[in-house]
Amino acid sequence: VTADADLLVAGGGPVGLAVAIHARLRGLTVLLAEPREGPIDKACGEGLMPGALAELALLGAEPPGWALHGVSYLDGRRRADHLFGGSPGRGVRRTTLSAALIARAESLGVVRIPARVEGIRQDGESVVAAGVSARYLVGADGLHSTVRRLAGLERSRGRGRRYGLRRHFRVAPWSHLIEVHWSAGLEAYVTPVADDTVGVALLGRQGTGFDEAIAELPALADRLADAPPASALRGAGPFAQRTSRRVAGRVLLAGDASGYVDAITGEGLRVGWAQARALAECLADDDPGRYERRWREGTRSFRLLTGGLVVLASSPLRRTIVPLAGALPGVYGGIVERLAR
Ligand SMILES: Cc1cc2nc3c(=O)[nH]c(=O)nc-3n(C[C@H](O)[C@H](O)[C@H](O)COP(=O)(O)OP(=O)(O)OC[C@H]3O[C@@H](n4cnc5c(N)ncnc54)[C@H](O)[C@@H]3O)c2cc1C
């Protein structure tokens, strides 16, 4: 019995689309199950670090946005700026990114199935899901992945209980740096995405009120005082999602579905797109088992540095983060560069 396609991707977010594009570029036939009509919006900081932009170029997509030249940490009294040593990053609205990746995937012949994956059956030859069969199934269905659960790859939740909220404002950007405003209990990521739109993503504990949180950050509240909201409030979380493995027979995981730490370092897309590229290479070679090692290598710094920063940010030492970044620019810059590449 021949399968309907080489690959079925569950999830048409940025990582699922990247898996589909890389697989097509390697000659595999690809179906993509995504219940939502594109372009798709999602709570995200929308900062593409320089390394993420390099991955995007490999995908052949070029969405417009706002050039980002570095990162600034602020706590009301101090600020610590780091300018990227190499090429800039870009703030890109999620719907703009989604539209560009969907167009690229369609131009390469990826076929979308308007469905959710709700059950999986696999044998030695193929996987059946969403009413079709394929030689492999990739779960790229986000933080609360159904594929991860159905394939038995879920591990107990991480200890962290951090969540994110985002909203856009109609205002001209005042900086080419991603601003991270630190208060006692949360971080506000301010990322311009167009010459009249700035996105604000809040990271912190559940139950944080968006307006109350902004009011606790006077420097940011001043900037937004006369700016009308330009998008609906959206949330996501909890961030910490763990997996026991990334491969179960013919089922593989990529992106947030494969395990997530936190948005504190803004590198979900870079990490997810690198996974997508590795995954397509392994499947084109019919060697799904190799992906497990590639996944571990590709996520090591994300797991260690991001995990470490979350522990620090959740401890009494939190208040020392911005002063230390200012006092030790070499260390701060080194960490930002490591995360940015
Ligand atoms: C507040 C916040 C701020 C962030 N800031 C940044 C940042 O500045 N920079 C950065 O790089 N990253 C950032 N991230 C992380 C980034 O948003 C994610 O890493 C990225 O969206 C992961 O993409 P994905 O394709 O894996 O998942 P998603 O974008 O979540 O896409 C999953 C898709 O799967 C679909 N789906 C769900 N269930 C099923 C199913 N059963 N069958 C089929 N389809 C299904 C959904 O409809 C969705 O379209 C942030 C995240 C948050 C929450």
More confident residue, 333 or 339: 333
The mean pLDDT value for 18-26 works out to 98
CA distance 260 to 36: 22
Ligand 1 proximity of 51 Cβ (cutoff 6 Å): no
Cα 272 to middle of ligand 1, angstroms? 9
More confident residue, 77 or 72: 72
Ligand 1 proximity of 65 Cβ (cutoff 6 Å): no
pTM of the model: 0.97
Beta-bridged to residue 167, according to DSSP, are: 200
Q: Which of 8, 9, 42 to mutate to test the pocket of ligand 1 (most atoms within 8 A of CB)?
A: 42
CA distance 186 to 203: 6
CB-CB contact of 146 with 253 (8 Å): no
Side chain identity at 289, as an amino acid letter?
Answer: G
Beta-bridged to residue 284, according to DSSP, are: none
Q: Where are the alpha helices (DSSP H) in 32-145?
A: 50-59, 94-107
pLDDT of 338 higher than 90: no
pLDDT of 158 higher than 70: no
CA distance 45 to 49: 11
CA distance 266 to 47: 7
For residue 242, how many other CB atoms are within 10 A of its CB?
Answer: 14
Ligand 1 proximity of 201 Cβ (cutoff 6 Å): yes
pLDDT of 160 higher than 70: no
Q: Which residue has the tokens 């990582």?
A: 15
Side chain identity at 139, as an amino acid letter?
Answer: G
pLDDT band at 205 (very low <50, low <70, confident <90, very high): confident
Tokens standing for 118? 């709700």
Mean pLDDT of the chain: 95
Ligand 1 atom having least distance to the Cα of 257: 26
DSSP class of residue 243 equals B
Cα 165 to middle of ligand 1, angstroms? 13
CB-CB contact of 124 with 199 (8 Å): no
Burial of 150 (0-12, 13-18, 19+ CB in 10 A): buried
Output b/e per residue, 262-276; b: 16+ Cβ within 10 A: bbbbbbbbbbbbbbb
Picking from 162-166, 203-207, 248-252, which range would have the lowest pLDDT averaged per residue?
203-207
| pLDDT for position 161 | 84
| pLDDT for position 123 | 93
